[in-house]
Amino acid sequence: MQNNLLKGIQRGDTVLETRGITKKFPGVIANDQIDFEMKAGEIHAILGENGAGKSTLMNILFGLLQPDEGDILVGGKKVAFRSPLDAIDLGIGMVHQDRKLVSAHTVIENIILGHPHAKGVLNLKSTGEEIIELCDKYGFNIDLKAKVWQLAEGEKQVVEILKALYRGARVLILDEPTSALAPPETEKLLQSIETMAQDELAIVPFITHKLPIVLAVSDRVTVLRRGKVTARLETAHVTEKILAEEMVGREVIFRIDRPEVEPGEPILQVENLSARNDKGVTALNGATFTVREGEIFGIAGVSGNGQHELAEVLAGLRKAEAGKVELGQEEITSDSALDRWLMGIGYIPSERVDVGSIADFSLVENVAMNYYFDDGYARQGIVDYGHIRKLTEAMIAEYGVATPSSDTKAKNLSGGNLQKLILARVLSRKPQLIIANLPTQGLDVGATEFVRNKLLEARAAKAGILLISEDLDEVLALSDWVAPMYEGEFMGIIPGDQAKKENVGAMMAGSHLEEIAQ
C-alpha cells in the first residue's frame, strides 16, 4: 500500500491537503477550519505563536490526533489516519523536536526499528547499503554502527530523518529542526533539506521560529494565529518583519536595546567546578568564572557540552564533584535547592515538563510550588490558595500565557505557554541571581522579544544573570561576557562587545580562544 496514492506525482503537484480541519480541546479551539496544501518539491514553512495550532495540525497530518471536522487528502484522495502507521504507509514522515530514538541501540538499529523489514531475518549488510545510498543522495554523513548515545545532537537529527526516509516518506514534517544545532550543523542540515526538495518526491513541510532560516530555504509560508490561517505568503516577497507581524498581529522590534549598566559587586563566584552527568561521566570540568550584579554572563554551546550539568549544580540539583560556589561572600557549594531559592537564586530549567512543572497540577498549584514557604502566601503552614490564585492570574496577564483559566492543568498548555508561566514564576520573585537555561527555547518571536526584555529589566535592576542558550545570536545580543563551552570546558571568556559570531562558533566546536587569536 505504501505511497500508492503518490505514484506518478510530479514537481508542483499537490501531494498533501487539508480542508476545513478543526480540532477542539477543553476550553480552546486549537485548529479552526484550516485549509493547507503541500506541493511536490517545495519547502513550506508553518509559522505561528505558541498555541497557534501548528503542532496540533502537524500531529493530525501524522495520525497522532484525529480531527473533529474536515478532510485530509493525499494525492488528491480523501484519507483517514487512525494512527501514525497509516500516515507512514501513505508516505508521510515526521521528525519530532524531542528525539524518539533508543539510546542504547546503534544508528542502523534505530532506523530499521518498526520497519516491515524488521519482522523477518534481517540482512544488515544490504539494509546498510540502502541507508548509505540515502546518505549519499541527500548529503548525510553518519556512522551506522555508532550507538545513539554517542552521537551529537546534529547526528541524532540525521538519524531521525533517515528513519523517516527509509520508510518511504515523501512528505517530511520537521518540527524545529535546527533548535539544538550549532551553526555548522545547521548549515549542513539546510543544504540536505534543499537537496531533498529538489527531488520531486521529497516533500518538506518546515516548522520553525527562526525567521532567517525560513527566508533562506522555504518557498511558501502559512501563518497560523489562534488556530486560524491568517496568511499564505510567497517567501520571496516577504521580510522577517512582515512574517513576525503576521504571526503576532503587531509590530515586533528585532533590535535589542541593551542599555549601559554599571556592573556591581561579584554575586556569583565559581572556582574549578566539576560534575558528572547522569551516566557517571565527567561532563563539567574545572569551570571558573564570576557573574557580577547588573551583568549577563552568556554561555554558548551545542546541547550536551556540560551546560546542563553546570546549571543544575548552581541550582542545587546536582552534586559538585570538585570546586567551590559562592553567592556573595557565602559558600553555597553544598546548600540545597530550596536554601538557594530562599537566598535569592532563581532557576529557569530547560526541562519545562519534567523539572519546571507538574503536568497534572493546575497553574495555581504550579505557582504555589515556589511560594508555599513564604509568609505572605501561607498561614501557619496552610497555603493561601486565594492569594496565590490572584498572583497566578496576574502572571498569566503580564506574560501573555494563553490558557482558558488559572485552573487549567499544566499538561494542557502548549510548550511555549508553559515556558512563559515558569519564567513568570521565577522572575516575579526578583531574584538577585537568575540561572536562565534555554529561557526562550520553543517560544515564538513575540514571546522571545518579551522574555529577552524581561532579562534586560532584571539586569538593569542589578540582578546577575547566567544565560545558557543554544541560540548564538541571542547570546551575542544579550551578554556582557560570552563563554563558549565544548566538552565540559570553557574555550575562553570574551567581553560581549568583542565576541564575533564566527569566532564563538569555532570555539563552540572545540577551538580555544588562543588558537583563534593566532
Percent of the chain with pLDDT over 70: 93
Over residues 264-286, mean pLDDT: 93
The two most distant CA atoms of the chain are separated, in Å, by: 73
Residue of 331, 293, 324, 336 lying closest to 480 (CA atoms): 293
Pair 70, 33: CB distance under 8 Å:
yes
**What is the CA angle 401-406-409, rounded to 5?**
90
pLDDT tens digits, 299-329? 998 878 899 999 999 999 999 999 999 999 8
Model pLDDT, residue 490: 93
Greater confidence (513 vs 254) lies with 513
Query: What single string gives the DSSP state of each residue in 251-318?
Result: --------------SEEEEEEEEEEE-TTS-EEEEEEEEEEETT-EEEEE--TTSSHHHHHHHHHTSS
pLDDT tens digits, 167-204? 888 899 988 777 666 667 778 888 888 888 887 665 76
Q: How many CA atoms lie within 13 A of 345 on its CB side?
A: 27
The C-alpha cell at 122 is 534481517
Give the Cα separation of 428 and 388 in Å (integer): 12
Give the Cα separation of 313 and 301 in Å (integer): 17
Among 97-101, 114-118, 307-311, 364-368, the minimum mean pLDDT is found in 114-118
Give the Cα separation of 393 and 401 in Å (integer): 10
Domains of the chain: 4-248 (3.40.50.300), 256-344+431-518 (3.40.50.300), 355-428 (no CATH)
Inform me whether the pLDDT recorded for 1 exceeds 50: no
Inform me whether the pLDDT recorded for 163 exceeds 60: yes
Give the Cα separation of 215 and 220 in Å (integer): 9
- In angstroms, what is the C-alpha Rg of the chain? 24
Inform me whether the pLDDT recorded for 352 exceeds 60: yes
The C-alpha cell at 174 is 520537521
Inform me whether the pLDDT recorded for 212 exceeds 80: yes
